[in-house]
A and B are shown apart, each in its own frame.
Chain A
Amino acid sequence: MSNKAVEEGVPYSLHCFINEGEESIKTAPSTRLLTILRDELKLTGTKRSCDIGRCGACMVLIDGKAVNSCLAMAYQCSGKHITSIEGVALQGIDYIQQAFLEEGGFQCGYCTPGMIVSVKALLDDNSEPTDDEIAEALSGNICRCTGYGGIWRAVKQAVERKRQLLAMEQKEELI
């Protein structure tokens, strides 16, 4: 039946791709993606905090876009490609993570995975963001202990690193 996801009485099964792996998870259609990641898949890098989309600690990429996993429901993730902070580091430490380490872009570290995911979404979409664009992209990520100075430096370094990476790629293409 085309207009119905779940036949009455039949448990729902979410099919999607998480950190490049195909997953099939029995859950309620309204289960939050955050719960699936942390409780079902034990991907605890994604943090639980406000539960209402305010703080950004639970940020993940859904089809490359930053989304609060506390707001996204299982049925909305059907067929989607989801990247959590663990997925960002699949090929080893990511240049954005490195920038956060080098610039002291964290203190207690609870907000850091969400911050890194938001920066990744920004730089994947726009490699030369203005200060206003950086501020807007990170406006959904709250840090309660750094005062944002270190985070700002980390993002700026990540932008510079992205620029270098793109230049290297272009050079390799020419060769």
Chain B
Amino acid sequence: MGMNVQETLASPLVWHPQTPQEAWQLKQTYGTESIYISGGTLLRTFWESGMAAMPQHFIDLSTIRGLRELRIGEAGFLIGSQATLQSCRTNMLLQRHFPMITEAIRTIAAPSIRQLATIGGNVACYIGDSIVALLGYDAEVIWFDGIAEQRSLLMNWLQTGQGAKHDDKRLLLQMVLPFEEMEQETISSDEADKLSSQMKRFGAYHKVGRREGFTPSVATICINGRLTGSGVIQHIRIAVGGGQTVPSRLDKLEKEITGAIVDNQLLQHAYERVLQLYEPREDLFASAEYRKSTAANLIAAELWKAVRDDT
């Protein structure tokens, strides 16, 4: 039965909550008949392709105060979930302190889409390319569960949220990027200064796809670490994702190679462990094995480049 003219012109109903509490309450009220929306760019593609039906209620998150801010806070650099991807891409502080985030965003669609799309949407869809870079910086997320703001590591949030495409019980508010500090607990300040001057930071973000743009990646990796003057890995974060795979940190590999010197044996070990630890989803265009070997090659190559550049 078709809608009459009045229903057509009024539907869907768009709600403009002013606070996370109001947004969350609306979601509880309208349930599966409603959807949180901000830029709506990904949702639009779902509706156009018939992958999802347009719900009757839009809960517009763009009107919630304060969620578009990008700023330095006590806990680190705060990115509001409603910040557009383009505002993140062009933010000077983010570029200076967390360049792999802005590089990741550069590879997401085109500026015209990034003017609408938000980083919160990219993260909340669980497979966005910004997630891999955020994991590389140990990002945390702050979400609202209807009672209070909760905070957890992004990697944990992704694990518990896997499969929950429309997460009704949590509303993503902010991402927090901690400023990296020297791990100085067990060393004197003199030793710390000496270590700091000798330490070399390295990092890389890669998105490998079948074409340069507008294609789901075969493999996306982020590697972020520090080497001592003698080529020993002092700290490292390795994140992988791409395609329909929920990104993850290879924390077992990180532990295994921390404290080790980067040599051929370590590179071989890292390559093989990526093949073992990474579990990508395959699709019609790329098998899981192909995605694994792509990610393993990228990670091993970046480790090699880090130590090669050091000598």
A complexed with B: yes
Q: In the complex the two chains form, is A11's CB within 8 Å of B10's CB?
A: yes
Q: Of residues 51 to 66 in B, which have CB atoms within 8 Å of A's CB atoms?
A: 54, 58, 60, 62
Number of B interface residues in the complex (CB < 8 A): 38
Question: What sequence of 0s and 1s flags, for each residue 36-51 of chain B, a beta carbon within 8 Å of any chain A beta carbon?
Answer: 0001110011001100
Q: Give the residue of A28, A59, A62, A139 whose beta carbon is less than 8 angstroms from that of B8.
A: A28
Looking at chain A's contact residues, is the secondary structure mostly helix, strand, loop, or mixed? loop
Bound together, the chains give a CA A10 to CA B14 distance in angstroms of 12
Given A5-B15, A56-B110; A30-B54 close (CB under 8 Å): yes
Q: In the complex the two chains form, is B13's CB within 8 Å of A6's CB?
A: yes
- A2 on the B face (CB < 8 A): yes
Q: Give the residue of B11, B48, B115 whose beta carbon is less than 8 angstroms from that of A67.
A: B115
Instruction: Tell me the minimal C-beta distance from A64 to chain B in angstroms.
Output: 10
Q: Of residues 1 to 49 in B, which have CB atoms within 8 Å of A's CB atoms?
A: 5-18, 22, 26, 39-41, 44-45, 48-49
Residue ranges of A at the interface with B (Cβ–Cβ < 8 Å): 2-6, 8-12, 26-30, 51-54, 56, 59, 62, 65-68, 70-73, 75-76, 118, 136-137, 139-141
- Chain A residues with Cβ below 8 Å from B17 are 3
Q: Give the residue of A59, A75, A140 whose beta carbon is less than 8 angstroms from that of B60.
A: A75
The residue on B at minimum CB distance from A32 is: B44
The residue on B at minimum CB distance from A122 is: B111
Given A30-B54, A52-B44, A54-B214; A8-B112 close (CB under 8 Å): no
A-B interface pairs (CB < 8 A), number: 108
Bound together, the chains give a CA A53 to CA B113 distance in angstroms of 7
Instruction: Tell me the minimal C-beta distance from B234 to chain A in angstroms.
Output: 33
Q: In the complex the two chains form, is A66's CB within 8 Å of B48's CB?
A: no
Bound together, the chains give a CA A71 to CA B5 distance in angstroms of 23
Q: Give the residue of A6, A12, A140 whose beta carbon is less than 8 angstroms from that of B112.
A: A140
Bound together, the chains give a CA A2 to CA B64 distance in angstroms of 12
- Chain A residues with Cβ below 8 Å from B12 are 28-30
Q: In the complex the two chains form, is A27's CB within 8 Å of B116's CB?
A: no
Q: In the complex the two chains form, is A118's CB within 8 Å of B58's CB?
A: no
Instruction: Tell me the minimal C-beta distance from B105 to chain A in angstroms.
Output: 11
- Chain B residues with Cβ below 8 Å from A59 are 112
Q: In the complex the two chains form, is B11's CB within 8 Å of A28's CB?
A: yes
- B213 on the A face (CB < 8 A): yes
